Amino acid sequence: MSLWEYANPVKFLNLSGRVLPWVALLSAICLVVGLIWGFFFTPDDYRMGSTVKIIYIHVPAALMAINAWFMMLVASLIWLIRRHHVSALAAKAAAPVGLVMTLIALITGAIWGQPMWGTWWAWDPRLTSFLILFQFYIGYLALWKAIENPDSAADLTSILCIVGSVFAVLSRYAVNFWNQGLHQGASLSLDKEKNVANEFYHPLLFSIAGFVFLFLVLVLIGTRSEIRIRRASVIVARKIR
Amino acid sequence: MFMVLSVQDLCIARSGQVLMTDVNFELAAGQALIFKGPNGLGKTTFLRVISGLQPALSGKIHAKEDSFAYTAHADGVKPSLTVAENLQFWADIFDNQNIDTALSAFGLNDLKSRFAGLLSAGQKRRLCLARMLISNRPVWVLDEPSVSLDTASVTQLEEVIKQHLQNGGAALIVTHGHLDLGPSCKTVNLGEYKSNRAVYGDGAEAFL
Amino acid sequence: MRAVLLRDLRLAMRVGGGFGLAIMFFLIVAVLVALGVGPDVALLSDISSGILWVIALLACLLSLDRIFSLDYEDGTLDHLVIAPLPLESVVLAKATAHWLTTGLPLGLVSPLVGLMLGLPAEGYLWLVLSLALGTPALSVIGTFGAALTLGLKRGGLLLSVLILPLYVPTLIFGAEVARRGSIGIELQTPLWMLLGLSFGVVAILPFASAAVLRINLR
Amino acid sequence: MTLELGKYTSFVLSAYVITIVLLALLIIYVLWRNAKSKALLQDAELHKDA
């Protein structure tokens, strides 16, 4: 009973139905714990004062924005190679979540940077690369909406996602080169490695876990609705012939 | 009789809709098949699948590589190029240099230097059919070739196809009009292959 | 492959007004920028290389949706798919035709427009060079976008939404080469990056575009 | 530990509020789409046998 067996949409519906409530519960717990702990029970940073509390939403959102696109890339590859509908629809369901995560990362990043940089938008390379990632998400979703035939839509968006990933990485370095970072990042670097004093670190882990589970829940629900819509259209199409 | 083309239990779908199932036939050199069938059956999709433009749902098509020359409803003629330039372009693509035989076969010699945009529908159709000769490929796939052709041009077309059959070519023709191509031509009614069951493997099947 | 290229060029000359269109666009937008930003030459000359690159990019973008749509509508694309030559070479021929009618003329005309925007003297060579090296990548990426939006209703708008993020690396490196050239500082790194990017894109992207075409023609 | 955010209170609060609002909108959108798909499927299943 290989993993691919769950690529069958109907089986996937049953499995995801059982798993969904638990993941939702887990995500809720982690989010609440992470945010409450981070918001109320951590001291202010000696230099940045209370704005450090923003890391509990900015870092997880930024992480999810990047990993959402990576997940869509993997799902697109699976669709192109093994032609499993669930992975194509999962990629489609993940896109809006990734888009909102990027938006959150952008806004919280700008708010966080304001006191340090003195302006709302300071073309910091990291924030700019999220702005570009945001455009990639917009393009990806726009292509999904523009094509009627579901199968060729899945193929085309998968190819766009793969090509887009290459250019996203290129843009990431081009932006870094373009502006070596107006201001050095705060004591915390926005990328994955977190050099943070540990009393900030544990709540951060929780809120990251919370965001990851939230992402999973939303993608599972999204994929299920995509499958149902596809199933309905197939039934209708088959009936009226 | 050397088989130019053989098709085994072919299933054809168009955007998730199964149209025809278990289509089987063979085509020998020098033979022509005329396909009849009601509108909307998917005759055009059928020809596109045979000529390799579109993948079939299932089933096999045995034919030599690059042996199809396909003519669709759309003429594929560039209005801003002259007749000769249009044909010369395709001659370069199929690297066969003499476009004169094709021009004379369809009586386009005197229109050689005229812009294709100024041609009548019938003349454009003849220019499109002239491409068949240039491609010098054994199996001709013609989708409504005689549309917008006057009687003189239809006989001209019949002449060309018979000539093609004589020197070992073959042809698959979908037409509502009547084309008499002599003894070696059979008529097939595609209606009987109309699909009545879902076929496993088509994209939508997985959702049921 | 050569036949497709020659035919497309001939078509561009007769119908599309050839590269006149791109040059006109380039000129007009440069004037608009000057009118918008104001006559202060000092300011204009600072931003001139970047502005010229952005205008060149937009000029490429505008003429992208014509690459496949004409052939798609009149059925020529179907015949090209069946023709003996590989689809990748058709895509490359189309991209080259687009480059010859937009990218290259822009590069050649850019000094004239640079003059108008007060580009510093030593900037001209690098502007032309960066455009000449960068625009092939713009054309090939654009061809990929044109293939993606083939046959879609409002494809033109979608094309720019899809393509602009893909243009970012080329724009950054190209404009950087032009900017550093205009202020005369060392520009090896962006130049090599631009070269690497252009060659990589021209070599690999046509395969993706051909795959997309096959899917769209299905 | 009393909650005292100092001079950056408005920034921290606005960041949190915006995030929560955006996440809420996303969750509502996903749930709405889920309900719509359920209705669509029921409707199709219903007519399947009719």
The pLDDT tens digits for A59-85 are 899 999 999 999 999 999 999 998 888
Give contacts of B90 with chain C, Cβ < 8 Å: 79
Domains identified in chain C, total number: 1
% chain C with pLDDT above 90:
36
Name the band, by pLDDT with cuts 50, 70 and 90, for residue A222.
very high
D33 and A222 within 8 Å at the Cβ level: the answer is yes
pLDDT of residue A241: 46
Average pLDDT of the residues in C186-212: 91
pLDDT tens digits, residue range A142-162?
999 998 888 889 999 999 999
Q: What is the mean pLDDT of residues C56-60?
A: 91
The residue among C12 and D24 whose pLDDT is bigger is D24
> In angstroms, how far apart are the furthest CA atoms of chain B?
60
| Distance between C3 CA and the closest CA of chain B, angstroms | 6
**Partner-chain contact A241 B17, CB within 8 Å:** yes
B99 confidence band (pLDDT: 50, 70, 90): confident
**Cβ–Cβ contact B60 with C under 8 A:** no
**B9 three-class SS:** strand
End-to-end CA distance of chain B: 45
Nearest residue of C to residue B55, measured between CA atoms: C218
- B123 to each of B103, B127, C66, how far by Cα in Å? 11, 6, 26
Q: C10 and B81: CB-CB below 8 Å? A: yes
Q: How confident is the model at residue B5 (pLDDT cuts 50, 70, 90)?
A: confident
A147 contact residues in C (CB cutoff 8 A): 152
pLDDT at A181: 44
Q: Is pLDDT larger for residue A3 or for residue A25?
A: A25
Residue B91: C-alpha distances to residues B101, B118, B130, C67, C127 (Å): 12, 22, 11, 22, 41
Q: Which of A46, A48, A63, A111 to mutate to test the interface with D (most CBs of D within 10 A)?
A: A111
Give the per-residue pLDDT at A4.
Answer: 61
Query: How does residue A180 score in pLDDT terms, banded at 50, 70 and 90?
Result: low
Q: Determine contact, residues B98/B79, Cβ cutoff 8 Å.
A: no
D34 CB within 8 Å of a chain A CB = yes
pLDDT at A107: 92
Domain membership of residue C72 as a residue range? 2-217
What confidence tier does A48 reach under pLDDT thresholds 50, 70, 90?
low
% of chain B surpassing 90 pLDDT: 0
pLDDT in tens, C137-190: 999 999 999 999 988 877 788 999 999 999 999 999 999 898 888 888 888 888
In the CATH scheme, what architecture does the domain B1-67+138-208 have? 3-Layer(aba) Sandwich (3.40)
Report which residue type is found at D5: L
Q: What is the pTM of this model?
A: 0.88
At residue C3 the predicted structure's pLDDT band, cuts being 50, 70 and 90, is confident
Higher pLDDT, C215 or B16: C215
Q: What is the mean pLDDT of residues B48-72?
A: 82
Quick one: closest CA in B to C1, which residue?
B93
Average pLDDT over residues C103-132: 88
Residues of chain D contacting residue A119, judged by C-beta atoms under 8 Å apart: none
From the number of C-beta atoms within 10 Å of its C-beta (0-12, 13-18, 19+), residue C111 rates as middle
Q: Which of A94, A33, A91, A99 has the alpha carbon at shortest distance from A218?
A: A94
Q: Which of residues 72-131 of A touch D (CB under 8 A)?
A: 96-97, 100, 103-104, 107-108, 111-112, 114-115
In the predicted structure, residue A8 carries a pLDDT above the cut 90: no
Cβ atoms of A111 and D10 within 8 Å: the answer is no
**In the predicted structure, residue A190 carries a pLDDT above the cut 80:** no
Query: Does A238 reach chain B within 8 Å, measured CB to CB?
Result: yes
Q: Is the pLDDT of residue C74 over 90?
A: no
The reported pLDDT for the residue numbered C71 is 85
CB count in 10 Å sphere of residue A209 = 18
pLDDT at C18: 61
Q: Is B51 an interface residue toward C (CB < 8 Å)? A: yes
Q: What's the residue count for chain C?
A: 218
User: Distance (Å, rounded) from C-alpha D7 to C-alpha A151?
Assistant: 54
Chain B closest CA to A82's CA: distance in Å?
12
Mean pLDDT across chain B, nearest whole number? 80
Q: For chain A, give the percent of residues with pLDDT over 70.
A: 85
C112 has pLDDT over 80? yes
**Is residue A73 a contact partner of residue A133, using CB atoms and an 8 Å limit?**
no
Do C193 and A164 count as a contact with CB atoms less than 8 A apart? no
The pLDDT of residue B19 is: 79
Size of interface A-C (CB pairs under 8 A): 73
Instruction: Locate the domains of chain B by residue range.
Output: 1-67+138-208, 78-136
Of A205-214, B83-92, C46-55, which range is least confident?
B83-92
In chain B, how many H helices and how many E strands?
A: 5, 8
Is the pLDDT at A194 greater than 50? The verdict is no
User: What integer pLDDT is reported at residue A193 of this predicted model?
Assistant: 45
Chain B touches chain C, with at least 3 Cβ pairs below 8 Å, answer: yes
- For A111, the closest of D3, D14, D23 (CB atoms) is D14
pLDDT tens, residue by residue, B164-183: 888 888 888 888 877 777 77
Q: Which residue has the higher pLDDT, A198 or C119?
A: C119
Q: Which residues contact A167 (CB under 8 A, 6 or more apart)?
A: A136, C165, C166, C168, C169
pLDDT at A5: 59
Q: Which residues of B touch A235 (CB under 8 A)?
A: 208
Residue B128: the pLDDT is 84
Closest residue in D to A99 (Cα–Cα): D26
Contact A53, A39 (CB under 8 A): yes
pLDDT at C109 over 50: yes
pLDDT tens sequence across B122-135: 888 888 888 888 88
Inform me whether the pLDDT recorded for A189 exceeds 60: no
pLDDT at B142 over 60: yes
Residue B15 with chain A: CB contacts under 8 Å: 148-149
Segment A218-229 shows an average pLDDT of: 92
Chain B residue with the nearest C-alpha to that of C216: B54
